[in-house]
């Protein structure tokens, strides 16, 4: 399992949507270049071991902000596909026990959202929209329930 994790992490690192844009031709990175490097995090291997869901955080120095999107990559290679909506971003992707669905969190200006991504169809739908936000989504062992936290 450890070998699978590190192999998956290497695949995700190589398949980052930035794909080497920050190459500097052998000179040291400048501070602004370092700050705008895409950051890959939270890799989640599907139950069957065929897919990796992961987060990529990008920084926009001009807008003084960051955004995080969720991506899906076949372990065997290929082009990564975006799970999260560009306008909403996404984080905390978690696989259902059967591997058919990914639950994740998005944040809008006024609310948090729990969404479900159908891997076979490549579509996402809203499960819950909460004015108090949402975080930490997790599946029950049977896949029949989801739990998440929200402020009260």
Which pLDDT tens digit goes with each residue over 19-31?
A: 444 455 778 878 8
Q: How many domains does the chain have?
A: 1
Residue 85's domain comprises 2-17+29-149
Whether pLDDT at 18 is above 50: no
In the chain, the percentage of residues whose pLDDT exceeds 70 is 83
Across 66-81, average pLDDT: 92
* Residue 50 domain flag: yes
The SS3 of residue 35 is: helix
Whether pLDDT at 3 is above 80: no
Across 45-69, average pLDDT: 89
Tokens (6 digits) for 132: 């108090």
* Residue 10 domain flag: yes
* Residue 119 domain flag: yes
Average pLDDT over the chain, rounded to whole?
A: 84
CATH label of the domain that carries residue 103 = 2.120.10.30
């Amino acid at each position: 399992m450890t070998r699978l994790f590190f192999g998956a992490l290497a695949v995700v690192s190589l398949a980052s949507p930035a794909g080497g844009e920050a190459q500097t031709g052998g000179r040291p990175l400048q501070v602004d270049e370092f700050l705008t490097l895409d950051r890959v995090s939270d890799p989640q291997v599907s139950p069957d071991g065929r897919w990796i869901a992961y987060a990529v955080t990008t920084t926009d120095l001009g807008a003084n902000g960051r955004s995080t999107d969720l991506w899906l990559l076949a372990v065997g290679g290929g082009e990564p596909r975006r799970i999260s909506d560009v306008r909403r971003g996404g984080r905390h992707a978690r696989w259902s026990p059967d591997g058919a669905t990914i639950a994740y969190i998005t944040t809008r200006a006024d609310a948090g959202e729990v969404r479900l991504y159908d891997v076979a169809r490549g579509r996402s739908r809203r499960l819950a929209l909460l004015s108090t936000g949402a975080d930490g989504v997790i599946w029950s062992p049977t896949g029949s329930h989801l739990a998440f936290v929200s402020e009260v």
